C-alpha cells in the first residue's frame, strides 16, 4: 500500500473533523458488515452485482479517484492509446473512468469519430480492473438543439407519450445505447458493468430534462420509463442506475432527494458539485450524502466536480488536491470522486481543465494526494468484479 506523506497528515489535522481521523482505510483483508443490497434490475449480471457490492464495501475504506474522458484525450494529446493525464502526473491510471455516451445515441452517432475510442478505452479500463461510469449530454430530441436547449417544456412530456414522434425518436436513441453497451465485453467475453448516470443535474434549469422544463411527475416518470425500457424491453442487464442532483452550496439530505424516482429505480446516489473553493459546502454535502447512503443501503459518490483551470483567485491553485478535495472528503464514506474533463487544447488557448496534468503547478500536490492510503487509484483496487463476502445483492 502507498505511504501517507507527513505533509498530508498535517493538512488533514488542520482541515478534517474528528470523524475523519477515526477512519481506518485498510484495503487489505478487512471484512465488511453483512448486508443485503437491492438493484433496480433483478436480472443484473453476476459481474454487475459484484461491482455493486464492491462499491458499497469500498466507501468505508477509501475514496476512488476518477476523471472524465481521461483515457480518450488530455490537455496536450488526443486519442493516443495508453495515455492519461492522471497517469502522466502520478504514474497510475484513475480508479474510475467517466465517459459521455450521448454521441452513441443521438444524431451525432453517424459522424462521431470518438465512438470507437469510447469503446476501446472502456474495454481497456475494465481489463485493468477499473470502474466505468457514463453520463449523457444528449441533444434535444424535440427541437434539435443541444443539451442546454431548455426552450421547450414539452420534450419529456412528448417522450412519455406513446406513439408521439419524439417518443419514437427517443426509443431509437435508447436502442442505439443498448446496442453499444451490449458490445462492451471484457477479455473473458463478459458484459462490462456501467454506472449509468442519465439526466444528471436535474436540479438545475440548463437542460431540457431539468427543473424548468419538467414537472416533478414528468421527471420521475421519465426516469422510470428509461430504467424499464433498458432493462425490460432491451433486456440490458449490466447497468447500475445512478442519479446525480447538483448541489453547490451547503444543503441537506432532502436536497439530495429532489424529484427522487423511488428506491426501486435508483441504485447509486451521486452528487455533482461545482462549489469552487467552498470546502465547507462539499464537506457538509458529502457527509449528508454518506448518511443518506447508509439509510437507503445504496452506495454513493461525488459524480462530477472541480474548478476550471484548478484556479483560486485568478491564479493556479497549487495545493488544490490536498486542501480542497482530500480535506473535504476524507472519512465521509463516499465511494468515488470524479473530476470533470481536461479539454484537448495543445496550444493552451484557454484553461478548460479540471483534473491534473503535468504542466500545472498543482502536479506535485496531486502526487501527495495520490500517495495517501485513503486515495484509491487503478493499481490500488481490489477485484471490483468479484463477489464480496458478507454482501448479498439481489
Residue 365 to residue 363: CA distance in whole angstroms: 5
Distance CA 207, CA 366 (A): 33
Q: How far apart are CA 26 and CA 41, in angstroms?
A: 31
Predicted model pTM = 0.93
Q: Is residue 302 part of a domain?
A: yes
Rounded CA gap, 202 and 244, in Å? 8
Give yes or no for a contact between 53 and 361, defined as CB atoms under 8 angstroms apart. Answer: no
Quick one: cell of 381? 483496487
List, for residues 44-71, the tens digit of each pLDDT value. Answer: 999 999 999 999 999 999 999 999 999 9
Does some domain include residue 237? yes
DSSP secondary-structure letter at 164? Answer: -
- Number of compact structural domains in the chain: 1
**How far apart, in Å, are the Cα atoms of 372 and each of 1, 226, 380?**
9, 39, 11
DSSP state of 300: E
Q: Provide the percentage of residues in the chain whose pLDDT is more than 70.
A: 92
Assess if residue 352 is contained within a domain.
yes
Domain membership of residue 365 (yes or no) is yes
Q: What is the pLDDT of residues 281-330, one digit of tens each?
A: 999 999 999 999 999 999 999 999 999 999 999 999 999 999 999 999 99
Tell me the pLDDT tens digit for each residue of 18-43. 233 333 334 455 566 899 999 999 99
Q: Judging by beta carbons within 10 Å of its beta carbon (0-12, 13-18, 19+), is residue 359 exposed, middle or buried? A: middle
> Which residue segment(s) compose the domain that 166 sits in?
6-15+41-393
| CATH assignment of the domain containing 47 | 3.20.20.80
Q: What is the DSSP letter of 191?
A: B
135 in a structural domain: yes
Residue 33 lies in a domain: no
Assess if residue 30 is contained within a domain: no
Regions in the chain scoring below 70 on pLDDT: 1-32
pLDDT reported for residue 110: 87
Q: What's residue 2's pLDDT?
A: 65
**209 within a domain of the structure (yes/no):** yes
What sections of 109-152 are H helices per DSSP? Answer: 115-127
Asked whether the beta carbons of 244 and 200 are under 8 A apart, the reply is: yes
Amino acid at each position: 500500500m502507498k505511504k501517507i506523506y507527513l505533509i498530508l497528515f498535517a493538512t488533514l489535522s488542520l482541515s478534517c473533523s474528528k470523524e475523519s481521523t477515526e477512519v481506518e482505510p485498510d484495503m487489505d483483508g478487512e471484512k465488511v458488515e453483512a448486508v443485503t443490497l437491492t438493484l433496480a434490475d433483478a436480472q443484473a449480471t453476476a459481474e454487475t452485482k459484484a461491482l455493486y457490492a464492491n462499491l458499497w464495501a469500498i466507501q468505508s475504506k477509501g475514496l476512488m479517484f476518477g476523471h472524465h474522458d481521461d483515457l480518450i484525450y488530455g490537455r496536450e494529446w488526443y486519442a493516443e492509446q495508453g495515455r492519461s493525464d492522471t497517469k502522466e502526473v502520478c504514474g497510475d491510471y484513475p480508479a474510475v473512468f467517466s465517459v459521455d455516451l450521448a454521441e452513441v445515441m443521438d444524431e451525432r452517432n453517424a459522424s462521431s469519430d470518438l465512438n470507437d475510442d469510447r469503446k476501446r478505452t472502456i474495454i481497456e479500463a475494465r481489463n485493468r480492473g477499473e470502474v466505468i461510469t457514463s453520463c449523457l449530454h444528449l441533444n434535444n430530441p424535440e427541437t434539435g438543439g443541444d443539451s442546454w436547449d431548455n426552450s421547450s417544456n414539452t420534450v419529456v412530456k412528448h417522450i412519455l407519450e406513446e406513439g408521439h414522434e419524439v417518443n419514437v425518436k427517443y426509443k431509437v436513441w435508447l436502442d442505439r445505447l443498448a446496442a453499444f453497451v451490449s458490445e462492451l465485453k471484457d477479455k473473458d467475453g463478459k458484459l462490462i458493468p456501467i454506472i449509468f448516470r442519465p439526466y444528471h443535474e436535474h436540479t438545475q434549469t440548463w437542460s431540457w430534462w431539468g427543473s424548468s422544463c419538467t414537472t416533478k411527475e414528468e421527471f420521475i416518470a421519465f426516469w422510470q420509463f428509461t430504467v424499464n425500457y433498458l432493462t425490460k424491453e432491451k433486456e440490458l442487464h449490466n447497468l447500475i442506475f445512478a442519479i446525480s442532483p447538483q448541489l453547490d452550496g451547503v444543503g441537506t439530505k432532502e436536497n439530495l432527494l429532489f424529484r427522487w424516482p423511488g428506491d426501486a429505480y435508483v441504485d447509486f446516489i451521486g452528487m455533482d458539485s461545482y462549489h469552487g473553493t467552498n470546502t465547507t459546502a462539499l464537506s457538509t454535502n458529502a457527509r449528508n450524502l454518506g448518511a443518506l447512503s447508509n439509510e437507503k443501503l445504496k452506495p454513493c459518490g461525488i459524480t462530477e466536480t472541480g474548478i476550471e483551470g484548478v484556479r483560486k483567485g485568478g491564479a493556479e491553485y497549487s495545493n488544490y488536491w490536498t486542501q480542497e478535495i482530500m480535506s473535504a472528503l476524507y472519512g465521509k464514506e463516499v465511494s468515488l470522486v470524479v473530476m470533470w474533463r481536461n479539454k484537448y487544447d495543445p496550444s493552451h488557448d484557454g484553461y478548460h481543465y479540471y483534473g491534473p496534468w503535468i504542466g500545472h503547478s498543482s502536479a506535485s500536490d496531486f502526487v501527495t494526494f495520490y500517495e495517501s492510503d485513503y486515495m484509491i487509484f487503478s493499481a490500488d483496487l481490489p477485484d471490483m468484479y468479484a463477489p464480496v463476502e458478507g454482501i448479498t445483492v439481489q
